[in-house]
Amino acid sequence: MKYLATIALLGFVFFTSCKTDTKTQNSSDNTSENSSTESAMASDKETSIVEKIAHANGMDHWARVEELKFTFNVDREGNPHFERSWIWKPKTNEVTALSAEDTLTYDRNDSDMDSTAYKTNGNFVNDKFWLMAPLNIMWDENSITTEHTAEAEAPISKKKMQKLTVIYGNEGGYTPGDAYDLYFGDDYIVQEWVYRKGNQAEPSMTTTWEDYVEKGGLKIAEMHKNE
């Protein structure tokens, strides 16, 4: 079955200041989406593969993002077109879900979401992961285990690439225990990935990561295809 997912970037709002350099810090104790810390690339410790992938995709520029708008589109053979649009303010974690039927704004920091907001946030978590998985994985580093393979065959192109396997813990989150295999070159930009539900051996979904655009230093793949 042919599968096509696209990301339409509707807008980014960046914080600007008189400083030339903006730095973000990665700390093992605080890797949240809205943390503004000094870059791990500048630290003395060895840089992990997770950090290298995140920084290659623009992690150093994330602290400048005030607001982003995007639409997640899915076209699956034999099924009608599907899309969801979002406005996200990372510094406050306010999210607005936009659809033809309704608009919902909620606070992701709210520990007592109602059922509607909780379900909507699950959709947002999914779409945000498609938008910027390389950054999400670094934010989630305290709840994942990883394994790096120096050379592996990518599932679609059959090219030799590096592979990072990411496995989420079995507790917490919307999809506990799920696994991802990310395939990338020496530039640490993801080119293909495999999603494995519940860390099963067989792929649940395999797609490309392509048609990258750069916005304020962030690299976003706007196209994902399964062939």
What are the sequence ranges of the domains in the chain? Answer: 3-225
Distance (Å, whole) CA 85 – CA 177: 27
Average pLDDT over all residues of the chain: 86
pLDDT at 227: 81
pLDDT at 33: 67
Distance (Å, whole) CA 178 – CA 180: 7
pLDDT at 7: 77
Split at pLDDT 50, 70, 90, the class of 104 is very high
Share of the chain above pLDDT 70, in %: 84
Residue 40 has pLDDT above 50, yes or no: no
Do 24 and 65 form a contact (C-beta atoms < 8 A)? no
pLDDT in tens, 146-178: 999 999 999 999 999 999 999 999 987 788 899
- Give 76 or 186, the one with higher predicted confidence: 186
Q: How many helices (H) and strands (E) does the chain have?
A: 2, 12
Split at pLDDT 50, 70, 90, the class of 45 is low
pLDDT in tens, 197-213: 999 999 999 999 999 99
Residue 39 has pLDDT above 80, yes or no: no
**Exposed/middle/buried for residue 88 (C-beta within 10 Å: 0-12, 13-18, 19+):** buried
Q: Please state the rounded mean pLDDT for residues 56-73.
A: 94
Split at pLDDT 50, 70, 90, the class of 78 is confident
CA 25 remoteness from chain centre: 18
pLDDT at 27: 33
Distance (Å, whole) CA 151 – CA 185: 10
Give the side-chain half-sphere CA count within 13 A for 193: 22
Q: In terms of DSSP bridges, do strands 144-153 and 65-76 run parallel, antiparallel, or are they unpaired? A: unpaired
pLDDT in tens, 119-148: 999 999 999 999 999 999 999 999 999 999
The pTM for the full model equals 0.83
Split at pLDDT 50, 70, 90, the class of 10 is low
Task: Say which residues have a Cβ less than 8 Å from residue 79's Cβ, sequence separation at least 6.
Answer: none
Split at pLDDT 50, 70, 90, the class of 77 is confident
Query: What is the DSSP code (8-state) at residue 47?
Result: P
3-class secondary-structure state, position 121:
helix
Split at pLDDT 50, 70, 90, the class of 8 is confident
Residue that the structure tokens 């992938």 belong to: 53
